[in-house]
Amino acid sequence: MAPLKSLEQDYPILDSNFQSFCASHDIFSVEDLLLHDLYVLAAFAEQESSSERLKQGITQVLSIIDGKHQPWLNGMELLEDAQRNKHVLSSGCEGIDLLLHGGLRVGQLTELVGPSSSGKTQVCLLAASNVAKKHIGSVVYLDTGNSFSPQRVTHFICQHSDPAIDQAKHRTLQKVMNNISCKSVFDIFTMFDVLHQLEFNLRSQMQGGDCKMQLLIVDSVSSMVTPILGGSGSQGHALMISAGYLLKKLAHEHNIAVLVTNHTVGGDGGISKPALGESWKSIPHVRLLLSREHGGSICNVSILKHPSMAVGKAARFMIHN
């Protein structure tokens, strides 16, 4: 959620005095406020000369949060929404599409887990290329490690084109590149800013005739989250969960597919496991484990988590270098 300062224009009660009071308790955003004991915060507010206005400010922030809750839906409404809006987008990777019965499902967060050089970024670039080319919509690619490669996108788009029709090939490539927006993001706070701006843009998009966004990629989510998880405090985990739920919220409310990558760490008995721990485990709707045969282009993918498919189901596919 947004920094408190950005809410002042719409909610005058959250003025500079309220912001200064919050800042004195290390509260600068809605997330920070939720991490505090609100009864203790209200008690501190009581000691201030403007106590009533400060308490009204706290209540206002909580009202803003409540206003973002989704209404209750019955089973038939959920079924209609799934049939009307929650279709699948081909990832461009035949093995993954076969495994997932069509590809990446709109309204869901899909996570690719794998060690370094397992092909996670390659799959992200392939998915971005394919969605931008074959679907009437745009792709937003949040790049956390300078891994976005326009050259690879060009290779994916042009590898099956007929060299004799260079002009048509160029038009296709131009369309794909125009439909992919890449943003470098190197910390979780910048990611929150980008996602909030994206949420605002998506709301505006619903009322306009802009090219609809179809896919959001975060490569990789673990490189931003891992640095804030150190120490014994709970703030890092709270930020991680907030980021996860914001990604899921964007997916569900705006009918887009979200694809994120995560690395692996050593587990019990030397067996690798997904990073970010048990708290993150509940965030993705779909979790896929990716591995690559040593020195080759053959990748293996298996289901670690899926709402309607068996865990352990696997497939193989090839990514050309």
The pLDDT value recorded for residue 279 is 86
pTM of the model: 0.74
pLDDT at 211: 59
What residues pair up with 303 in beta bridges, in sequence order? 288
pLDDT value of position 163? 54
Encode the chain (321 residues) as per-residue pLDDT tens digits: 568 888 888 899 999 999 999 999 989 988 888 888 888 899 999 999 999 999 999 988 888 877 666 667 778 777 777 767 678 999 999 999 999 999 999 999 999 999 998 999 999 999 999 999 887 689 999 999 999 999 988 888 876 555 555 677 778 888 889 999 999 999 999 999 999 999 888 887 765 555 589 999 999 999 999 888 876 667 888 889 989 999 999 999 899 999 999 999 987 777 889 999 888 999 999 999 999 887 778 999 999 999 989 999 999 998 766
Other Cβ atoms closer than 10 A to 309:
13
Cα separation, 300 vs 312, in Å, equals 12
